[in-house]
Amino acid sequence: MNLGSGDALDVLDALEQGSESTYFAFTQASEAEPARTGKARRKRRGKGRAQPAPAPAVRALAPIPDVLAGRYRLERLLGAGGMGLVYRARDLLQEGFGDPQPLLAVKLMSDQLATAPDANALLFNEFALTSRLRHPNLVRLQGFAIDPQSERGFITMELMRGTSLDRLLCDQPLGLAWAQVREIAVPLLDALACVHAQGVVHGDLKPSNVMLGDDGLRLFDFGLGLALDGPLAGLPHLSHGRFEAWTPAYAAPELFEGGTPSTASDLYAVACVLYELITGRHPFERVPSLKARDQGMQLTAKAPPGMPGKAWAALRRALAFDPEQRRVDAGQLRDAFAAQGFWARLRR
């Protein structure tokens, strides 16, 4: 969903509730800003709508060819969002050598972002980040290339077959049984803990970025990913000084206030996802977190039916509006969900 440029706080009323589209808007290019204090954030909100930023330099955009780089035939569009396009494709080279499974997925930048002069570098950042993260519950990438005809970069990856969490939630409007929630939560949180341990944040955790398949769960789409430290920190990445990007229902309040994605904002997002799996409802009725905080919305003190108290206490901490109050990390949240209560152990 593209709502144009401007202050993120001014577009909340225009966002469709229930949408999982990633919002992004180009912002005024500038040098890195100092960290905003709470007072500065309040002043920013009082200024009203920001003036549109000058349009960034763009490059001519060639149409996407049917066959990328003379090798990957695009068969059909699997998904499209504000930032990327994913196609099912056929590897003609492997098929020519008799590979019985030549199908794969191909990701390109959306037409809107592909006109940016550094679009290919941004897509390469996603490839470089994801391909260096090793975990059985993370999507498996194969390669990065640039099609010489269209000059558009693309990522090749495994073709995931299964059901995304957003579809599962549609099919289970009252939520899942605790045993089913644990089967999803533990590998998801284990993958996230692995990502964070390597100094990387995902940046856009939401149900549609988690796939359940015959060979297990996959967390994917690191298009907004960022290496905070470690050997990957020098990679080109999405500049949050150039544009803001998040999915409103899963973005922590500090992101709306100009903060940089962090492990704490990832924790807020994944906690929203887990709460939905347990109850079938978003913890704050899909109200963007900044508004939910300002409206004084609060979670019930009582755990949802069937959920152990230890897991509920950890999840409540992860859902705190104040990042300083999210005194739990992905590994601790995983352990809380993995633990079995006294009665469950007796029944074994």
For 326, phi and psi rounded to 5 degrees? Answer: -85, 70
227: in domain:
yes
Q: In angstroms, rounded to a whole number, what is the distance separating the alpha carbons of residues 347 and 296?
A: 41
Q: Is 107 annotated for ligand binding?
A: yes
Within this chain, do residues 151 and 181 fall inside the same structural domain, yes or no?
no
For residues 72 and 90, membership in a common domain is answered with yes
pLDDT for the residue 21? 55
Domain boundary among 138, 157, 176: 157
pLDDT of 57 higher than 80:
no
Distance from C-alpha of 273 to C-alpha of 271, rounded to nearest angstrom: 5
Q: In this model, does residue 115 exceed pLDDT 50?
A: yes
Mean pLDDT value across residues 87-110? 97
On average, the pLDDT of the chain sits at: 83
Give yes or no: residues 174 and 296 share one domain: yes
The tokens describing 41, both together, are 């954030």
Task: Give yes or no for residue 38 having a pLDDT over 50.
Answer: no
Which residue is catalytic, options 91, 147, 204, 329? Answer: 204
112 vs 321, higher pLDDT:
321
**Of 157, 173, 192, which one is at a domain's C-terminal end?**
157
150 and 167 together in one domain: no
How many domains, in total, are found in the chain?
A: 2
Q: Which of 230, 229, 235, 226 is nearest to 201 (CA)?
A: 226
Answer yes or no: is pLDDT of 2 > 60. Answer: no
pLDDT (0 to 100) of residue 10: 37
Asked whether residue 110 falls in the same domain as residue 211, the answer is: no
> Any idea which of 107-111, 195-199, 213-217, 299-303 has the lowest mean pLDDT?
299-303
- Going along the chain, which residue ranges are E strands? 23-26, 67-68, 72-80, 84-91, 103-109, 141-146, 153-157, 162-164, 200-201, 210-213, 216-219, 226-227, 243-246
Q: What is the pLDDT of residue 300?
A: 84
Q: What percent of the chain has pLDDT over 70?
A: 78
Q: Minimum mean pLDDT among 44-53, 145-154, 209-218, 266-275: which range?
A: 44-53
Residues 259 and 174 in one domain: yes
Residue 211 lies in a domain: yes
Max mean pLDDT among 41-55, 233-247, 298-312 falls in 298-312
Token digits of residue 67? 């066959």
pLDDT at residue 244, rounded to an integer: 60
How far is residue 267's CA from residue 346's CA, in Å, rounded to a whole number?
A: 32
Pair 106, 74: CB distance under 8 Å: yes
179 and 283 belong to one structural domain: yes
Bridge partners, 72 (sequence order):
68, 91
In this prediction, residue 103 carries a pLDDT of 98
Specify the DSSP element, H or E, that contains 113. helix 111-114
pLDDT tens digit string along 301-313? 889 999 999 999 9
170 and 269 in a single domain? The answer is: yes
Considering the domain boundaries, does residue 223 fall inside one?
yes
The pLDDT, as a whole number, for residue 116 is 85
Q: What is the CATH number of the domain that holds 193?
A: 1.10.510.10
Catalytic site residue 204? yes
202 and 332 inside one domain: yes
70's CB contacts (< 8 A; 6+ apart) are 92
Query: Are 210 and 310 part of one and the same domain?
Result: yes
pLDDT class for 246, splitting at 50, 70, 90?
A: confident
Domain span holding position 115: 67-157
Of 157, 185, 212, which one is at a domain's C-terminal end? 157
pLDDT at position 32, please?
Answer: 38
The model's confidence at residue 17, banded by pLDDT at 50, 70 and 90, is: very low
